[in-house]
Structure 1
Amino acid sequence: MSTVLRFVPHRIVSHPEGEVTVSAQCLAADCGWSALPSADVAAVDVACMSHTGRTGHPTFARKYEDVALVTRIE
């Protein structure tokens, strides 16, 4: 028995009917603050800046999530 492998090019993009969701978490020790996931990236950024203004904590982990679509390139 033999197997034939061939390269088939594909691409991956954000799904056109999906949306990007972003969330953020403060990385200061023992803080625990986080921004709820939102489709409004600017609102999460503002929430992070407001948190920095209140606490002085400048570092956040931001997480972006979307629905991916893989298509074969013809």
Structure 2
Amino acid sequence: MSTVLRFVQHRITRHPQAEITASAQCLDPDCGWSALPTGDVASVDVECMAHTGRTRHTTFARQYEDVALVERIGD
């Protein structure tokens, strides 16, 4: 018995009908602040900057989520 392996190129992109969702969390050890997930990425950045203005906390973990689409190239 033999096996034939064929290399097939693929690409990965954001699904054209899906939105990116963003959220953030303050990394100050004594702070529990977070920006709720939203499709408005810029508003999460504004919320982080406003939080910094109120608290002087400057470090955030930002999360971005999207739906990926993997397609064969050349089909």
Shorter chain as denominator, the TM-score bin is: over 0.9
What is the CA-CA distance between 1:50 and the residue it aligns to?
0.4
4+ residue segments displaced more than 6 Å = none
Separation in structure 2 between the aligned mates of residue 2 and residue 24 of structure 1, nearest angstrom: 51
CA distance in 2, matches of 1:2, 1:31: 60
TM-score under structure 1 length normalisation: 0.97
Structure 1: distance between partners of 2:65 and 2:17: 14
Equivalence for 2:55: 55
SS at match of 2:18: coil
- Give RMSD over aligned pairs: 0.6
Distance across 2 between alignment mates of 1:9 and 1:17: 23
Name stretches of at least 5 consecutive residues in structure 1 with no aligned partner. Answer: none
Number of aligned pairs? 74
Q: State TM-score, norm by structure 2.
A: 0.95
* 1:10 match: 10
**Counterpart amino acid of 1:9?**
Q
